[in-house]
C-alpha cells in the first residue's frame, strides 16, 4: 500500500483526536509512525493502526475507515496528475468509472508492484451504479468513504449500500443511488 495512505491517516488522527491519541495508537501498534508518501508498506500495518484507534476511541473500525476515506478523498484528488482528464468527470458515477479505467491503470504503470482494488461494473444507469469491488486488502469501508467524499466533491447526494460477496471481505458488491 502506498505511503500516502499512511501519512494521510496519521494526519487525520492527529487533526481529529490529537497528538496524544496518535502516539497512543502508534505505541499500541508497535509502530514508529515513519512513512513517506511514495514508499510502499504492508496494508496490515494500517489495519492494525485502525483497530487500535478503534480501541482508544470506542468508534467501530468500519466507521473509522469510512471517515478516513471521506476525508482523504480531496487530498488524493489533488495528487492525481493533470493529464488524468478528470475535468471530464462531472458526476460521482463518472469519477468512479474513471478510477478503474484510468487511475488504477496509471498507478500500475508508475508502481509495477502496486495492487490497487478492481471494480467490475455490473449495471449503470443515470441514477444507479452496481459494481463489485475486489481487493486483497479487504478495506471496502474505506471505499465507502471515498465514494462519499467524491459525492461531496460533486455536490451530489449518493446513497451507498454494500454487501460482502466473500467470507473474507475481499469481494464486495456496491450499489450506488444518486438522489
pLDDT in tens, 141-158: 999 999 999 999 999 999
Q: What is the mean pLDDT of the chain?
A: 91
33 vs 113 pLDDT, higher one: 33
* pLDDT value for 107: 74
* pLDDT value for 87: 66
In which element (H, E) is residue 7 found?
helix 3-17
Confidence of residue 77 (pLDDT cuts 50, 70, 90): confident
* pLDDT value for 65: 94
38, pLDDT greater than 70: yes
* pLDDT value for 116: 83
Q: What distance in Å separates the CA atoms of residue 86 and residue 17, rounded to the nearest whole number?
A: 33
Do 96 and 176 form a contact (C-beta atoms < 8 A)?
Answer: yes
Percent of the chain with pLDDT over 90: 67
Residue 14 burial (C-beta neighbours within 10 Å; 0-12, 13-18, 19+): middle
Q: Which domains does the chain have, with CATH numbers?
A: 3-59 (no CATH), 81-178 (3.90.1520.10)
Q: In what order do the strands lie in the sheet with 158-164?
A: 118-124, 128-134, 171-178, 158-164
Distance of CA 3 to the CA centre of its chain: 13
pLDDT digits (tens, 9 = 90+) for 83-141: 666 767 899 999 999 888 877 777 777 777 777 889 999 999 999 999 999 998 878 99
Amino acid at each position: 500500500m502506498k505511503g500516502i495512505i499512511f501519512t494521510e491517516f496519521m494526519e487525520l488522527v492527529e487533526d481529529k483526536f490529537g497528538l496524544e491519541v496518535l502516539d497512543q495508537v502508534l505505541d499500541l501498534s508497535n509502530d514508529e509512525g515513519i512513512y513517506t508518501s511514495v514508499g510502499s508498506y504492508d496494508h496490515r500495518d494500517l489495519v492494525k493502526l485502525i483497530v487500535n484507534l478503534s480501541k482508544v476511541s470506542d468508534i467501530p473500525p468500519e466507521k473509522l475507515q469510512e471517515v478516513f476515506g471521506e476525508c482523504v478523498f480531496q487530498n488524493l484528488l489533488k495528487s492525481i496528475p493533470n493529464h488524468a482528464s478528470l475535468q471530464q468527470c462531472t458526476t460521482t458515477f463518472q469519477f468512479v468509472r474513471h478510477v478503474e479505467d484510468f487511475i488504477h491503470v496509471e498507478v500500475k504503470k508508475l508502481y509495477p508492484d502496486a495492487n490497487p482494488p478492481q471494480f467490475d461494473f455490473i449495471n449503470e444507469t443515470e441514477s444507479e451504479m452496481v459494481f463489485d469491488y475486489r481487493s486483497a486488502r479487504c478495506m471496502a469501508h474505506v471505499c465507502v468513504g471515498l465514494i462519499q467524499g467524491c459525492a461531496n466533491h460533486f455536490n451530489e447526494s449518493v446513497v451507498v449500500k454494500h454487501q460482502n460477496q466473500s467470507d473474507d471481505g475481499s469481494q464486495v458488491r456496491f450499489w450506488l443511488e444518486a438522489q
